[in-house]
Homo-oligomer: A and B are copies of this chain.
Amino acid sequence: MTTSRVTIKDVAARAGVSKGAVSLAFNHKPGLSEATRDRIFEAARELGWAPNLTARTLAGSRVDVVGLAICRPARLLGLEPFYMEFVSGVESVLIERNCSLLLRLVRNVEEEVGLQETWWRGRQIGGSILVDFRADDPRVGAVERLGMPVVAVGHPSLTGSLTSVWTDDATAVREAVRYLAALGHRRIARVGGAAALGHTAMRTAAFDEAARTLELAGAWQVTTDYSGEAGARATRSLLSAAPADRPTAIVYDNDIMAVAGLSVAAEMGLSVPADVSLLAWDDSQLCRLTHPTLSAMSHDVHGFGADAARTLFGAITGDGPGSHPVPTPVLTPRGSTAPPRM
């Protein structure tokens, strides 16, 4: 049984005023006596009325929805703790501003560009959070053309003139490699994320450079699709070399691959960290639940999401473009890293 919709008119009639007055009251604007204001709120309460956001948006006021399009095959997404944690950080900020998140999975960047444009043109959103930047990302130009407020989650070198929120991945990679080298490792491998992503490229470059600087005897890099399966495959391949040639330490680009790596080591009869050290990335709760616990480049993903959301609100309310670094991931040694067996 659908209650016939209550509109501003009904409230106005009930309170004995014009709909303009109701609008003024509900937007806390001056020009009404306390008495009338009360009468209006009372009437609205009695009728169970709340302003129709669609109409309000159309009439030109603010939109209290922000967009987030994620470009991953839907099946893979469920497996990435990163996004859910990121989203939960975003939500924690949205919730206190009474704002909602419009979430959409897209198949590729072009589709995302179209979607963002539709959202923006259609006034469906007040701004957007852009993630997963790649080199020469088409979203940069598109968003500039539209004049849409956004926060770009990615390194300034990828996000151009857009307001960005980013972590210093290069430094973090350097620190990870230095740490392993300091433990005595000379043959280090890295199981990277999706090659197309800008931050993967930056980490790859940083790893190369660190390997050269430290004059490592061996340095491998593989890229994957971030899935546990791919991480397992990569690990299996890395560890199947002869003991004298295989890496004694492996750095992973997320934690799910590190967990997979841990289990591959066990399956191959190698002990962690005695035979091989493993270092995870992002550090969700997962890293503390394995045995041995996983050392990780720890990163407050939840806080990262919250920062992104806050920065987006800044952009929506007119802050100029800016670059907002968030804390660099810090090395959190746990049970999966140790000096190599001599």
The chain A residues found within 8 Å of chain B, CB to CB, are 1-3, 5-6, 49-55, 57-58, 65, 74-75, 77-81, 83-89, 91-92, 94-95, 100-106, 117-118, 121-124, 144-147, 227-229, 232, 256, 259-260, 262-263, 266-267, 284-286, 288-291, 293, 301-302
Contacts and interface: CB of A to CB of B under 8 A. Distances in A.
Contact of A77 (B53, B84, B101, B288): B84
B104 A103 contact: no
A8 B92 CA distance: 37
- DSSP majority for the A interface? helix
A103 B78 contact: no
A260 B287 CA distance: 10
Contacts of A65: 102, 124
A259 B75 CA distance: 21
B75 A302 contact: yes
A233 to B, nearest CB: 12
A301 to B, nearest CB: 7
Given A52-B122, A263-B289, 11 more contacts: A2-B147, A6-B121, A54-B123, A74-B89, A74-B302, A77-B87, A78-B87, A79-B84, A95-B104, A100-B103, A102-B102
A75 B306 CA distance: 11
Contacts of A123: 52-54
A225 to B, nearest CB: 12
Contact of A286 (B94, B232, B259, B293): B259
A155 to B, nearest CB: 23
A118 B50 contact: yes
Contacts of A288: 228
A108 to B, nearest CB: 12
Contacts of A302: 74-75, 78
A288 B86 CA distance: 24
Contact of A146 (B2, B55, B145): B2
Contacts of A289: 228, 232, 256, 259-260, 263
A269 to B, nearest CB: 11
A266 B209 CA distance: 38
A287 to B, nearest CB: 10
Given A54-B54, A54-B58, A302-B74, A285 B103 contact: no
Contacts of A75: 88, 92, 302
A78 B74 contact: no
Given A58-B54, A147-B3, A289-B260, A74 B91 contact: yes
A78 B81 contact: yes
B80 A84 contact: yes
Contacts of A100: 102-104, 124
A1 B122 contact: no
A80 to B, nearest CB: 7
A263 B259 CA distance: 12
